[in-house]
Chain A
Amino acid sequence: MNTKLYIKDLEEIKLDDYKNVWVIAEQRDGEILTNVYELLNEGRKLADDLKVELVALLIGNNIKDQAEDLIFHGADKVILLDNPVFENYTTDAYTEATSQMIEKYKPEIVLVGATTIGRDLGPRVAARVNAGLTADCTSLEIDDETRELKQTRPAFGGNLMATIITPNHRPQMATVRPGVFLKALEDKSKKGEILEENVEISEEDLRTKVINVVKETKQKVDLPSAQVIVAGGRGLGNSDNFKIIEELADAADGVVGASRAAVDAGWITSDHQVGQTGTSVRPVLYIACGISGAIQHLAGMQESDCIVAINKNADAPIMKVADYAIVGDLFQVVPMLIELFNNEKAKKE
């Protein structure tokens, strides 16, 4: 090929050479991330539909003891790469290892969590092995006739959904939004095989060096696993008024969420942002206060079991998806709810 770019030759691909569904089992500090269990659950269904095996690729340092856990959660096989060079995530080491394994085993589908690291690794691997990659999928399905993976994802800030296929390239790679799929259940009686692999990579090959891994001391905003989320939007008017959202979240034992408008206005940090550009959530209860409901926000929260919306405007889009659309001034309604939740708590104690 007449190009100066770093790209391997584009050969005709025999689709039949590619088999099995893979899940990239991302770990940090030796701990498997929650979204991996979601991938295993979804990957299991795809593998069953295709009548193939579900394989987890586990890369890290001193992580051997985690492999079995992946089998208990649905994997038939675990490919294990355990080496000090994988202590911290680096694009070079993980891309090289993942690409080599893909080229050796030829999976037909590779699922990657759409985490900040999965979204660094996925595209780089897809470019190296010349695979198609679909970002941030919210639904995955096998086409009965073609065996193709139908990958559905939001586009235009959630205004539109698109179903993407990868007809002539393998593997079919997809990153999957954390929090969208349910987690696989554990079955400790499940048996599987652990394949230990090796790739030749040394520290000197790595073009980036991780000097420090910093955990921010402030409490992590754990939106994905929150049972209750109380979210505030433009209707709050300023950052001070966010205090009543925090109060309600406290009273309801919930986590504070926010719309993009509130984050963009600087009233609250972006780790609280719910929506297509923030975090996708599906809590039991979602209380939206002064949020009009831009489609990109709705795309990230409408899977909640129950939505309570408080808004002055009865025609706001959020009111259309709410199970309880409370038309009124949030500065009157929220304090009422705080009191009700606090009374409820007092009763239990």
Chain B
Amino acid sequence: MAGKDGDRMKIVVSIKQVPDTTEVRIDPKTNTLIRDNVPSIINPDDMNAIEAALQLKDKNPGSEVTLVCMGPTQADVALREGLAMGADRAILITDRAFGGSDTWATSNVIATVIQELDYDVVFCGRQAIDGDTAQVGPQIAERLDIPQVTYISNIEQKSEDTFVVQRKTEDGYFEVEVKTPCLFTCIKELNTPRYPHMRGIMEAFEDDDNVERWTNDKLNIPAEMIGLRSSPTRVKRTFVPEQKKAGIVIPDANEEEVKKVFEDLKLKHYI
């Protein structure tokens, strides 16, 4: 049973560093995305994935939580934040050869790393707020040939190797039983991510060697599985969405003005 000695689990969390999209603005002159000075954060759903891993570790003392993150050198900040929350180990997966990977290629890389680690459970966030695809989690599970349960909002450990989780649907949830090794993608209803301790933050950030760097020299993933050139999907063009043209402005809303709007809506059959 969970909690007893000897039931140590190897837990891996796959996280992503993302720009805080609520802070992203459009340059009205050039109609392009302003990315400068946009704060980088751990993807929100991934915070729930980290918390789920830490809670599982709390219930199974001696377990190890390893964070993996694919991204540029700066992404090591996200890993240090995760260490400060209580993770034991952090791996930055970084190489030019991985640049431009779509979800297919990205999951090939992350799955290769997880394969190298010993693991019982893999946690991912449901989706990242910069791409909103929700594809990398399931695609990692496919490459590892392990079962997945996505959109989990509750998790219960029934025995050493068996979990019962709730996976949310549009109008309720499925209760699903699954055995390890397995992969879960987490949604924010699952838990409330903990704050790091001050000491945790100091320790996580003061030692340069806290974050391991894994490149393709170590991983040796074949070129046809990674990077921009091997990715099935390509970005053909990007553009700023057209905004609807402005309508009628009622600058000083009094009862009469509001009534006029209401009558207008009726006239045009919106009501």
Contact = CB atoms under 8 A, between A and B. Distances in A.
Interface of A: 1-7, 10, 28, 88-89, 91-92, 95, 115-117, 119-120, 122-124, 126-128, 130-136, 150, 154-169, 207-216, 220, 252, 260, 270, 276-277, 284-285, 294-296, 298-299, 302, 305-308, 310, 314, 319-329, 332-333, 336-337, 340-341, 344
Interface in B141-176: 141-151, 164, 166-176
B135 A6 contact: no
A165 B22 contact: no
Contacts, number: 275
A214 B135 contact: no
28 contacts: A3-B225, A5-B143, A117-B169, A120-B150, A122-B135, A123-B103, A127-B104, A127-B142, A127-B143, A132-B231, A136-B132, A157-B24, A164-B233, A165-B234, A167-B234, A208-B149, A216-B172, A220-B170, A270-B188, A276-B132, A295-B24, A296-B21, A296-B22, A310-B253, A321-B243, A328-B250, A333-B253, A337-B262
B142 A6 contact: yes
Contact of B178 (A135, A209, A216, A320): A209
Contact of B240 (A132, A160, A209, A325): A160
Given A166-B234, A285-B265, A314 B249 contact: yes
Contact of B222 (A1, A157, A308): A1
A159 B176 contact: no
Interface centre among A10, A306, A307 (most CB of B within 10 A): A306
B253 A2 contact: no
Interface string B220-245: 11101100000111111111110110
A136 B148 CA distance: 21
B145 to A, nearest CB: 4
B258 A336 contact: yes
A325 B147 contact: no
A123 B134 contact: yes
Nearest to B142: A127
A320 B246 contact: yes
A135 B138 contact: no
B256 to A, nearest CB: 10
B130 interface: yes
B265 A306 contact: yes
Given A158-B241, A167-B234, A116 B250 contact: no
A296 B250 CA distance: 25
